[in-house]
A and B are shown apart, each in its own frame.
Chain A
Amino acid sequence: MLGNLSTPELSSLLALSPSIDQIGTNERITRIQARSIKGAAKMQGLRMALSMIDLTTLEGKDTPAKVRQLCFKAQHLHDQAADLPTVAAVCVYPTMVGVAKKALGNSGIKVASVSTAFPSGQAPFEVKKLDTLYALDNGADEIDMVVSRGRFLSGDYQFVYDEIAAIKELCSTARLKVIFETGELDSLDQVRKISDLAIAAGADFIKTSTGKIQPAATFPVVLTMLGAIKDHFDKTGQMIGMKPAGGISSSKLALQHLLMVKEVLGEAWLSNEWYRFGASSLANDLLMQYQKQLTGKYQSAAYFSID
């Protein structure tokens, strides 16, 4: 059924998307944020969060040298601390996939490439297709595509659906993350609807944002997307991954997000196979907190390498 729904079928699927109440959503989040994550649970959470990071550089001024440095950091987060996990993946533009792939070698760290005319998605489908194929040909393990938000907002759900399904087909074994750019959507109802649409079209992961627009991965948006993943799992038994990106820059926020995943989806999602943080500055804050837990003292930011 995946990937080939007709317009009436898609319409009836989206008609089943439940409405989302903003106030109730906020209440659920307040409950989670009131929890106290301390001691061994905090340590475990910090390590888990580190292992779930897609370490990202997505700038016009990216160069092979910059990407190589990022890839080194991905493998050596903070060698002063023993037994740290590595991040899950490095996330770059298609032109940098080859560089990253080579730099990461057989470290086990994945290379994720943004595609489909990231971040706006405003390009003809042929271009998006070439963009994706280029990344795949250079060895991308994961594709982070953007959806056509304009088409979605104008009600052309079939277009958005077909586009995702077509990119999914190109991906073969590569895992497809679908970016909604929720900061450009209007309501949690729309976030829920596009989540259901993307999951039906074959997304392996759903992802909040490009990181280029604020607001990005807010708690209400992430909770709404987790709700779609949970309903899909209950209906089909199929797990879908979640990637909040943009705005989660502190350990406290990251731990609260992980707790939300645990409570809403269950512990099966607490691995980097099913959950990622799209972030660049989060890693160092996690490392600082980790060192603080180990030594009882906060170290200066100067002790943690940027990149």
Chain B
Amino acid sequence: MMSQTNWNLEPSLESAAQIQLQAQYELFIDGKWQAPLSNTYFDNVNPADESHLAKIAWGNAADVDLAVCAARTAYDNVWSKLSGAERGKYLFRIARLMQEKAKELAILETLDGGKPIRESRDIDIPLACNHFFYYAGWADKLQEAFAGQQIAALGVAGQITPWNFPLLMLAWKVAPALACGNTVVLKPAETTSLTALKFAEICQEAGLPAGVVNIVTGYGDTGAALVAHPDVDKIAFTGSTAVGKQIQKACIGTAKKLTLELGGKSANIILEDAPIDQAVEGVINSIFFNQGHVCCAGSRLFVQESIAERVIEKLKFRLQSIYVGHPLDKNTDIGAINSKKQLETIERYIAIGLAEGAEMYQPDCALPSQGFYCKPTLFTDVAQSARIAQEEVFGPVLTIQTFRTMEEVVQKANNSPYGLAAGVWTDKGARIFGLSQQLKAGVIWANTYNKFDPASPFGGYKESGFGREGGRHGLSAYLKFSN
């Protein structure tokens, strides 16, 4: 009988050769590429190997003002005069063009942000396209969505997107805004501007009227200028709770409508009757999806004591077949951490966890020598009062706590300033309903995790923000109501 071991997959890199990056990107204002009035550009780095990708315009308040004026003019003269059906046609056209360019968008997203090509190809880009298709369908049915109510577009929406799902978050914001008849000024996160800039090209190709979508790249000051602009009717922000609080303060006393989708420290709960192997796989999806850069990541795992040892043993074994490596490798499960700054944050939290006395486990895997990488990390023996269990790490770091009763786990899960998402794993339907009524979280998944659909609203409780994106609920964030 013959025996063979050491069967290892070879790297299988998606080719980035087909991507034509420009050396320098300008601002997209009023349907044209415009050099920034600031005359400033910043370097965009590939987190997979720290190589330079492009120079990107750093818009200042004057640039933001130009963009808002363009959006206002487009709203007054063109967009607000179109019927819903006409707006829907543009959205369908954009959605189809995104689908046609799906591969290019996926590679760009991975180059720019470090996420595995498997995820950008199979999750981010298809979902982003689906959001446009979904909201394209609503554009001429708004009155049916809110029967008996007087509805109208808001005007100019200022939108600020995060770096974890750049194009998908753009889609979550731009698609409903346009469907409801608003025009848009979007500020993408500074580390991940490329797919937003590609999206601007798609808008041009779709023949979208000038000024309906404007993209102003830059850092936090660019975003602050957008928030502060008096002619913006609505601010939609996805990002950290700290920045969300600043934005909310800045909007006090203005007529701006605001939605915030902020941080989380979501609880993933495994009861003793759960389908254990699938629950373990669910934990992998809940915390290691997108390197853990997910606002709704199930970063706090609660396991019923009777099965805790077995679950932890299975998790550790499962981590042996997680591939950490180059994001363009089709076999990569965990790619690059988005930025050096974020890697430092994660490493700081790992040090805090160790200092707090929690037990750490990381699989024995080699990391690339260049670029920003972090091994998947488990912390056991974690107390509810530990910082590692309370604060958002935004990385591939899971804390594991045990519990004895349902009452205990509900208390512990809710004992957090956040309330974005939760997961429940059990074979009993009644327990799913019981727990989901008691857990204070905007989204609750049962026997699965991190599932998204354009028809399903998403948003948080408490310091995870307010307002809903997605579904019919997502429309109301971009409409004004008067009865």
Chain A residues with CB under 8 Å of chain B are: 18-21, 23-25, 27-28, 31, 34-41, 44-45, 47-48, 51, 85, 88, 108, 227, 234, 258-259, 262-263, 267-268, 270-273
* Chain B residues positioned under 8 Å from A39 (CB to CB): 10
The residue of chain B having its C-beta at the shortest distance from the C-beta of A52 within the complex is B2
* Chain A residues positioned under 8 Å from B313 (CB to CB): 234
A47 to B10: give the CA distance in the assembly, Å. 16
**11 A–B pairs (Cβ distance < 8 Å), ordered by A:** A18-B275, A23-B447, A28-B278, A36-B330, A41-B8, A41-B9, A44-B7, A48-B4, A51-B2, A262-B7, A267-B6
A55 to B188: give the CA distance in the assembly, Å. 59
A81 to B358: give the CA distance in the assembly, Å. 56
* Chain B residues positioned under 8 Å from A262 (CB to CB): 7, 321
If A36-B330, A263-B321 touch, whether A20 touches B12 (CB-CB below 8 Å) is no
A270 adjacent to B277 (CB under 8 Å): no
Of B30-38, B279-287, B408-416, the stretch lying at the interface with chain A is B279-287
Question: When each residue 117-146 of chain B gets 1 if its CB lies under 8 Å from chain A and 0 otherwise, what string results?
Answer: 010001000000000000000000000000
The residue of chain A having its C-beta at the shortest distance from the C-beta of B279 within the complex is A24
B277 adjacent to A18 (CB under 8 Å): yes
What is the size category of the interface that chain B forms with chain A?
20 to 34
Contact of A45 among B3, B7, B276, B333 (CB under 8 A): B7
Query: Distance in Å from the Cβ of A190 to the closest Cβ of chain B?
Result: 14
B277 adjacent to A20 (CB under 8 Å): yes
Query: Distance in Å from the Cβ of B290 to the closest Cβ of chain A?
Result: 15
A271 adjacent to B3 (CB under 8 Å): yes
* Chain B residues positioned under 8 Å from A88 (CB to CB): 1
A21 adjacent to B3 (CB under 8 Å): no
Query: Distance in Å from the Cβ of A35 to the closest Cβ of chain B?
Result: 5
Check B268 for interface membership: any CB of A closer than 8 A.
no
Per DSSP, chain B at the interface is loop
A2 to B7: give the CA distance in the assembly, Å. 33
A38 to B13: give the CA distance in the assembly, Å. 11
B7 adjacent to A41 (CB under 8 Å): yes
A23 to B447: give the CA distance in the assembly, Å. 9
Contact of B281 among A24, A40, A267 (CB under 8 A): A24
B278 adjacent to A20 (CB under 8 Å): yes
Chain B residues with CB under 8 Å of chain A are: 1-10, 12, 118, 122, 273-279, 281-282, 285, 313, 321, 330-331, 333, 427, 447-448
B2 adjacent to A258 (CB under 8 Å): no
* Chain A residues positioned under 8 Å from B321 (CB to CB): 262-263
The residue of chain A having its C-beta at the shortest distance from the C-beta of B118 within the complex is A34
If A21-B275, A24-B448, A38-B12 touch, whether A270 touches B4 (CB-CB below 8 Å) is yes
Contact of B447 among A21, A272, A273 (CB under 8 A): A21
If A34-B122, A271-B4 touch, whether A227 touches B277 (CB-CB below 8 Å) is yes
A141 to B257: give the CA distance in the assembly, Å. 77
A191 to B3: give the CA distance in the assembly, Å. 28
Query: Distance in Å from the Cβ of A205 to the closest Cβ of chain B?
Result: 13
B2 adjacent to A27 (CB under 8 Å): no
Other A-B pairs beyond A20-B275, A35-B9, 19, CB < 8 Å: A18-B275, A21-B275, A21-B278, A23-B447, A24-B447, A25-B277, A27-B285, A27-B448, A31-B281, A34-B118, A36-B9, A36-B330, A40-B10, A45-B7, A108-B1, A259-B9, A263-B321, A267-B5, A271-B3
The residue of chain B having its C-beta at the shortest distance from the C-beta of A263 within the complex is B321
The residue of chain B having its C-beta at the shortest distance from the C-beta of A37 within the complex is B9
* Chain A residues positioned under 8 Å from B282 (CB to CB): 24
A44 to B10: give the CA distance in the assembly, Å. 11
The residue of chain A having its C-beta at the shortest distance from the C-beta of B307 within the complex is A18
Per DSSP, chain A at the interface is helix
Interface centre among A18, A31, A271 (most CB of B within 10 A): A18
Closest 4 CB pairs of A and B: A24-B278, A271-B3, A36-B12, A21-B275
A36 adjacent to B331 (CB under 8 Å): yes
A273 to B4: give the CA distance in the assembly, Å. 11
Query: Distance in Å from the Cβ of A230 to the closest Cβ of chain B?
Result: 8
If A263-B321, A272-B2 touch, whether A25 touches B7 (CB-CB below 8 Å) is no
A21 to B118: give the CA distance in the assembly, Å. 24
B7 adjacent to A258 (CB under 8 Å): yes
B7 adjacent to A271 (CB under 8 Å): no
Contact of A271 among B2, B12, B279 (CB under 8 A): B2
A44 to B321: give the CA distance in the assembly, Å. 19
A107 to B122: give the CA distance in the assembly, Å. 47
* Chain A residues positioned under 8 Å from B118 (CB to CB): 34
A227 to B118: give the CA distance in the assembly, Å. 25
A116 to B448: give the CA distance in the assembly, Å. 41
B285 adjacent to A273 (CB under 8 Å): no
A47 to B330: give the CA distance in the assembly, Å. 23
B273 adjacent to A19 (CB under 8 Å): yes
A272 to B5: give the CA distance in the assembly, Å. 12
B10 adjacent to A35 (CB under 8 Å): no
Contact of A25 among B2, B278, B427 (CB under 8 A): B278
A272 to B2: give the CA distance in the assembly, Å. 7
* Chain A residues positioned under 8 Å from B277 (CB to CB): 18, 20, 24-25, 28, 227
A271 adjacent to B1 (CB under 8 Å): yes
Contact of A28 among B122, B276, B281 (CB under 8 A): B281
A48 adjacent to B7 (CB under 8 Å): yes
Contact of A27 among B1, B10, B281 (CB under 8 A): B281
Query: Distance in Å from the Cβ of A254 to the closest Cβ of chain B?
Result: 13
* Chain B residues positioned under 8 Å from A234 (CB to CB): 313
The residue of chain B having its C-beta at the shortest distance from the C-beta of A226 within the complex is B277
B448 adjacent to A35 (CB under 8 Å): no
Query: Distance in Å from the Cβ of B163 to the closest Cβ of chain A?
Result: 24
A272 to B3: give the CA distance in the assembly, Å. 7
* Chain A residues positioned under 8 Å from B281 (CB to CB): 24, 27-28, 31
A34 adjacent to B5 (CB under 8 Å): no
* Chain B residues positioned under 8 Å from A36 (CB to CB): 9, 12, 330-331
